Chains A and B, each alone.
Chain A
Amino acid sequence: MSESNVILKVDAIETYYGQICALRDVSFEVHDKQIVTLLGGNGAGKSTTLKTISNIEPCRVGKITFFGEDITTMPPHKIVELGLIHIPEGRRIFKDLTVRENLELGGFTRRGDDKKRDLMIDEVFCRFPRLRERHAQLGGTLSGGEQQMLAVGRGLMAEPKLLMLDEPSMGLAPLLVAEIASIIRDLNNEGIPILLVEQNSKMALGLADYGYVLETGEITLEGPASELIKDPKVVKAYLGIE
């Protein structure tokens, strides 16, 4: 792939929690139209990578560019305005706000145009009819699967140019995992590039074009998903128990 369609470029970043180094020399790219996955066990640094990209955690060393623009030290809300949307681990629905209010806040950067906002909420409701039924319910009363749909819907409200999902399958029954997978594929087919963080490697490699494996803060393996899925190390460490 040529440099020109690189959307997100993470270049040798390092992130620390106090003195503890959580990411060391992490580099990877997401290209236009791709689904890229970041695999790794618990505590490998996957969430930290996404948080560093969103600048929720500061990047101590290295550089992050989005559509060629340096976003390494950009305030998080500016990054969202650029269309780099991060759906966090554990969904993080606002429990005491209604489903609708959650969606409205997802569109915070597009505030001011109520007509457009209502149209977009309607689009989310068409995609996830169960959210329409529950639009006046508090976010905290939804089931895990519904909360994940709300989290995705809330992310879509910001009109993502790149969607980063942190373990969307976490804690969901297999049937729902399949549903989330098909949602991700649909979004990608509609033209949204995706950076997918997962512990469920089977699901992630089934969806992705390209993958990276993260171990204790370092990228130890990368390649096209179709090759990673056959790689003995990946099979042993991440697919064996599935």
Chain B
Amino acid sequence: MFSPGEIILQQTVNGLILGCFYALISLGYTMVYGIVRLLNFAHGDIYMVGAFVGFFVFGALAAITGTGWLSIILAMVAAMFLCGVLGFLIQRFAYRPLLDAPRLSLLITAIGVSLILQNAMMILTNGEFKFFNHSVNPRAGISLGNVTITWIQMVLLGITAVLLISLTWFVSKTIWGKAMRAISMDRPTCRLMGINVNTIIGITFFIGSALAAVAGVMACVYYGNVHYFMGYIMGMKAFTAAVIGGIGSIPGAMLGGLLLGLLEAGGTQVLGSSWKDVFAFGILIIMLIFKPTGLLGKTEVERM
């Protein structure tokens, strides 16, 4: 019933949406890696916390502003802010004291933070799936033949596009963004420029976490449910996207995220959906073997 053209169109749309999730989350990975050389394995859990913050805020707002887009957007803004603060605080109290310690201590701390976030959320939610009952029609949209591009998909793409463009502007044009890039090149010299390095690292964690929170609330809307271990696989996928793009590179994370989404959608179409994680991590392994610096990364390679 679907023509080959329609299948390609459908999978492209699916892949782009998936790519939006990966891009938004992998940005946090790559920005943090760029600035403090930490693979922040708690980042996927920030996405999960973002989803739950969105869920709870949405629930609280439902009686006041309804269950439509207004509440969704408000929940998204609240999740961005609260996860931004959470990311900042994790940085401040868990990572900053270890910035000059051996890299491995930092990595292990990140894994510890990840476990804390997951277990805290498990206790808070009794380990249950929570259902995000918005009133936006998930099937309404624009139909092209048998394929429907839903309003939800278009809004999520739009939100992601706005965020990616804003971030690009921030990093390339503002003095804070320039300082961020400079710190990833040479931290001691930034101190000699009068740059408060700790503040900029804090801002970086805030932004990365806020972007992950947006993805979390997007997951609420798109998939309709949330659970405390949703961050694990998503975090690994976003990490894969960051590696594909070249870890440390912001355009790389955007490109890697979208590319991984599209590849995964295509791979799922060909191999079947039970292979989709195998497929994504297969790409990660191939990438690490043949081009560890990624598509847009720098040539510097470090062993962890």
Contacts of B179 in A (CB 8 A): 105, 108
CA A105 to CA B237, docked complex, whole Å? 35
How many residues from A make CB contacts under 8 Å with B? 25
Do B192 and A56 touch (CB < 8 A)? Answer: yes
Contacts of B193 in A (CB 8 A): 80, 105-106, 108-109, 154, 158
CA A56 to CA B195, docked complex, whole Å? 12
CB distance from B129 to the nearest CB of A (A): 45
CA A154 to CA B182, docked complex, whole Å? 13
Do B195 and A96 touch (CB < 8 A)? Answer: no
Do B194 and A109 touch (CB < 8 A)? Answer: yes
**Which residues of chain A from 67 to 118 have a CB within 8 Å of any chain B CB?**
75-77, 80-81, 85-88, 92, 94-97, 101, 104-106, 108-109, 111
Does B272 lie at the interface of the complex (its beta carbon under 8 Å from any beta carbon of A)? no
Q: Contact string, B172-189, partner A, CB cutoff 8 A, digits 1/0?
A: 000100110110011011
CB distance from B275 to the nearest CB of A (A): 39
Does A169 lie at the interface of the complex (its beta carbon under 8 Å from any beta carbon of B)? no
Which residue of chain A is the closest to B182 with respect to CB atoms? A94
Does B196 lie at the interface of the complex (its beta carbon under 8 Å from any beta carbon of A)? yes
CA A81 to CA B192, docked complex, whole Å? 10
- Best-surrounded residue of A56, A76, A96, A158 (most CB of chain B within 10 A): A76
Q: Contact string, A145-159, partner B, CB cutoff 8 A, digits 1/0?
A: 000000000100010
Do A88 and B196 touch (CB < 8 A)? Answer: no
CB distance from B235 to the nearest CB of A (A): 28
Does B191 lie at the interface of the complex (its beta carbon under 8 Å from any beta carbon of A)? yes
Contacts of A34 in B (CB 8 A): none
Does A54 lie at the interface of the complex (its beta carbon under 8 Å from any beta carbon of B)? yes
Partner of B195, one of A77, A101, A154: A77
Do B185 and A94 touch (CB < 8 A)? Answer: yes
Do A105 and B192 touch (CB < 8 A)? Answer: no
Do B194 and A97 touch (CB < 8 A)? Answer: no
CA A96 to CA B181, docked complex, whole Å? 9
CB distance from B193 to the nearest CB of A (A): 5
* Known contacts A88-B189, A92-B189, A158 near B194 by CB under 8 Å: yes
CA A54 to CA B192, docked complex, whole Å? 7
Do B191 and A105 touch (CB < 8 A)? Answer: no
Contacts of A56 in B (CB 8 A): 188, 191-192
Contacts of A105 in B (CB 8 A): 175, 178-179, 182, 190, 193, 195
CB distance from A108 to the nearest CB of B (A): 5
Do B194 and A108 touch (CB < 8 A)? Answer: yes
CA A81 to CA B195, docked complex, whole Å? 10
Do B189 and A108 touch (CB < 8 A)? Answer: no
Do B178 and A80 touch (CB < 8 A)? Answer: no
CB distance from B186 to the nearest CB of A (A): 6
CA A164 to CA B192, docked complex, whole Å? 11
Q: Contact string, B189-206, partner A, CB cutoff 8 A, digits 1/0?
A: 111111111000000000
Q: Contact string, A54-68, partner B, CB cutoff 8 A, digits 1/0?
A: 101000000000000
Contacts of B195 in A (CB 8 A): 77, 105, 108
Do B178 and A81 touch (CB < 8 A)? Answer: no
Contacts of A111 in B (CB 8 A): 175
Do A80 and B192 touch (CB < 8 A)? Answer: yes
Contacts of A80 in B (CB 8 A): 192-194
**Which residues of chain B from 212 to 268 have a CB within 8 Å of any chain A CB?**
none
* Known contacts A77-B195, A77-B196, A101 near B178 by CB under 8 Å: yes
CA A80 to CA B179, docked complex, whole Å? 15
Which residue of chain A is the closest to B186 with respect to CB atoms? A92
Do B196 and A75 touch (CB < 8 A)? Answer: yes
Do B194 and A94 touch (CB < 8 A)? Answer: no
Do A95 and B192 touch (CB < 8 A)? Answer: no
- Best-surrounded residue of A54, A80, A94, A154 (most CB of chain B within 10 A): A94
* Known contacts A104-B175, A108-B175, A54 near B191 by CB under 8 Å: yes
For the complex of A and B, 5 pairs with smallest distance between CB atoms: A80-B194, A109-B194, A76-B191, A92-B189, A77-B196
Could you show 24 A-B contacts with beta carbons less than 8 Å apart? A54-B191, A56-B192, A76-B191, A77-B191, A77-B195, A77-B196, A77-B197, A80-B192, A80-B194, A88-B188, A88-B189, A92-B188, A92-B189, A92-B192, A97-B185, A104-B175, A105-B178, A105-B179, A105-B182, A108-B175, A108-B179, A111-B175, A154-B193, A158-B194
